[in-house]
Amino acid sequence: MATDVKVPALGESITEGTLAQWLKKPGEAVAADEPIASLETDKVSVEVPSPVAGTMAEQLFQEGDTVEVGAVIARIGEAGAAAAAAAPAETKEAVDAATNPPGPAETPLPREDAHAPAADHADLTLSPAVRRAVLEHHVDPSKISGTGKDGRLTKDDVLAAAKAKDSGPVHEPEVKAPAAAPAATAQPALAAAAAPSGERREERVKMTRLRQTIATRLKEAQNTAALLTTYNDVDMTAVIDARARYKDLFEKKHGIRLGFMGFFVKAVALAARDVPSVNARIEGDEIVYHDYLDVSVAVSAPKGLVVPVIRSADAMSFAEIEKTIAGFGKKAKDGTLTADDMKGGTFTISNGGVFGSLLSSPIINPPQSAVLGMHRIEERPVVRDGQIVARPMMYLALSYDHRLIDGREAVTFLVRVKEAIEDPTRLLIDL
């Protein structure tokens, strides 16, 4: 008897997702709890495990379909049993081929997107399992020929490439047209090699659900909030000296490196006590204030920017903050962040400096009312005690909803952050 595989709960307020990739084909053996499909939601990628051991019997949806929570997407048969049915698309193609065989004189026309091999697009749809294998074995997915549907990579493809890499260089198989094939029926893929070098091309790639959500939320913020940004700069000398002095002891005791983000999270917590509106939100015709600080930290993931939340950051130590951030960074790279990791948040910190940004105006993350933008540290000439000296400076940007936060409050908040960073002792004695 076949066992249904249903779409699991995807998190609070998430009712549907997109079937990004099938990880198992009909007829393949499946172990209990082994992922058989990858779903993409508004926030994260989720793997769907098999509830039992057996054989993939039937796939009820195609890749790219939208599936609701609780929907049956596949059936698992008894171990060793043959697949009950092929994927819907494959079945339809087989029926069409049987009822309408092509004429012997027909020559298929190349598709517009046939200039690029399928392997070029595989990295756009890597499942979490495949992504983890790529990162673990340090292989380039663009150089691996995928054996999955539409040329997509599977975990076995990555493992085989890693094994070949250890034993010697990996050589892509040479593609040649059949000797008897006339020039008019050459494979479309070969047209790319023969195309003029100056030819201009376009490629259309459907936006992922995550990218669509990011676009919608950012535009919503611009349409709804009265956005304004105020800037300041901060001398990072004291923080850099503190890190240099204590980084070895800190790592030895806590098992994690001491970074800059811990200082800024603590500084924001201190400043938010003086300016609580920065940590508030508008709800209808009311202002909701929080007596806690849940900091959303912008983290770069393979499919876009995500913002996991450090909960009750105002009550955490430097070590707890750094451990939490490091954990989020690893999960983002592995594609294992959950919806709960990104739920909520009362204030956001975005560090564009890690990518080299000198100055930017960040956009708030609704329903939050403010976001602090950090940037790269750069030595610049400044005046100290009447002397021009070089100091490691960083520009700070606070974007905020002017409907809730006045300019005076925004400037005061940013000055409090600046004072705490330039004199970290303030973080210890609560000044």
* Residue whose entry in the numeric block shows the structure tokens 């599977």: 154
**Token representation of residue 374:** 């950090």
Do residues 372 and 396 lie in contact, with contact meaning Cβ atoms separated by under 8 Å?
yes
pLDDT score of 217:
81
pLDDT score of 281:
94
The domain limits of the chain are 3-93, 209-429
Across the range 157-184, mean pLDDT stands at 57
Of these residues, 156, 241, 274, 406, which one is catalytic? 406
Q: Which of 31-40, 322-331, 357-366, 411-420 has the lowest mean pLDDT?
A: 31-40
For residues 45 and 49, the model is more confident at 49
pLDDT score of 393:
96
pLDDT score of 286:
93
Across the range 190-219, mean pLDDT stands at 74
Residue from 110, 113, 124 nearest 202 by CA: 113
Give Dmax (Cα) for the chain.
Answer: 89
Are β-strands 370-374 and 72-77 bridged in parallel, bridged antiparallel, or unpaired?
unpaired
Residue % of the chain over a pLDDT of 90: 33
Checking if the pLDDT of 180 tops 60, the result is no
Q: How far apart (Å, rounded) are the C-alpha atoms in residues 166 and 153?
A: 19
* Residue 318 CB neighbour total at 10 angstroms: 19
Checking if the pLDDT of 373 tops 90, the result is yes
pLDDT score of 181:
43
Mean pLDDT, all residues of the chain: 79
**Token representation of residue 429:** 């004695």
Residue from 111, 420, 70 nearest 272 by CA: 420
Q: Does domain 3-93 have CATH number 2.40.50.100?
A: yes
**Residue 41: band (very low, low, confident or very high) from pLDDT cuts 50, 70, 90:** confident
For residues 69 and 320, the model is more confident at 320
Across the range 36-57, mean pLDDT stands at 81
pLDDT score of 184:
43
Q: Under DSSP, is residue 73 helix (H, G, I), strand (E, B) or coil?
A: strand
pLDDT score of 166:
65
**Token representation of residue 80:** 């060793």
Q: Under DSSP, is residue 244 helix (H, G, I), strand (E, B) or coil?
A: helix
pLDDT score of 120:
41
pLDDT score of 298:
80
CA-based torsion, 137, 141, 147, 149: positive or negative? positive
Q: How far apart (Å, rounded) are the C-alpha atoms in residues 349 and 325?
A: 12
Q: Which of 60-69, 184-193, 295-304, 419-428 has the lowest mean pLDDT?
A: 184-193
Across the range 294-306, mean pLDDT stands at 78
152 Cβ partners below 8 Å, 6+ apart?
A: 21, 118, 122, 125, 146
First to last CA, the chain: 68
**Residue 195: band (very low, low, confident or very high) from pLDDT cuts 50, 70, 90:** low
Residue from 287, 303, 259, 296 nearest 406 by CA: 287
pLDDT score of 377:
95
284: left (phi over 0), alpha (psi -120 to 50) or beta: left
Q: Does domain 209-429 have CATH number 3.40.50.720?
A: no
Q: For residue 138, indicate whether it is catalytic.
A: no
How far from the centroid of its chain's Cα atoms is residue 96's Cα?
Answer: 39
pLDDT score of 360:
92
pLDDT score of 95:
45
8 Cβ partners below 8 Å, 6+ apart?
A: 46, 48, 69
Residue from 414, 321, 313 nearest 373 by CA: 414
Do residues 55 and 30 lie in contact, with contact meaning Cβ atoms separated by under 8 Å?
yes
Q: Which of 46-55, 119-128, 160-169, 197-206 has the lowest mean pLDDT?
A: 119-128
Checking if the pLDDT of 34 tops 80, the result is yes
Residue from 156, 158, 89, 90 nearest 123 by CA: 158
* Residue whose entry in the numeric block shows the structure tokens 């209808």: 284
For residues 109 and 20, the model is more confident at 20
Q: How far apart (Å, rounded) are the C-alpha atoms in residues 197 and 360?
A: 37
Q: For residue 233, indicate whether it is catalytic.
A: no
Tell me which range, 31-45, 184-198, 245-259, 409-423, is most confidently predicted by mean pLDDT: 409-423
Checking if the pLDDT of 17 tops 90, the result is no
Checking if the pLDDT of 192 tops 60, the result is no
DSSP string for residues in 195-229: S-TT-------PPPHHHHHHHHHHHHHHHHS-EEE
**Residue 11: band (very low, low, confident or very high) from pLDDT cuts 50, 70, 90:** low
pTM > 0.75: yes or no: no
Do residues 398 and 382 lie in contact, with contact meaning Cβ atoms separated by under 8 Å?
no
Burial of 213 (0-12, 13-18, 19+ CB in 10 A): middle
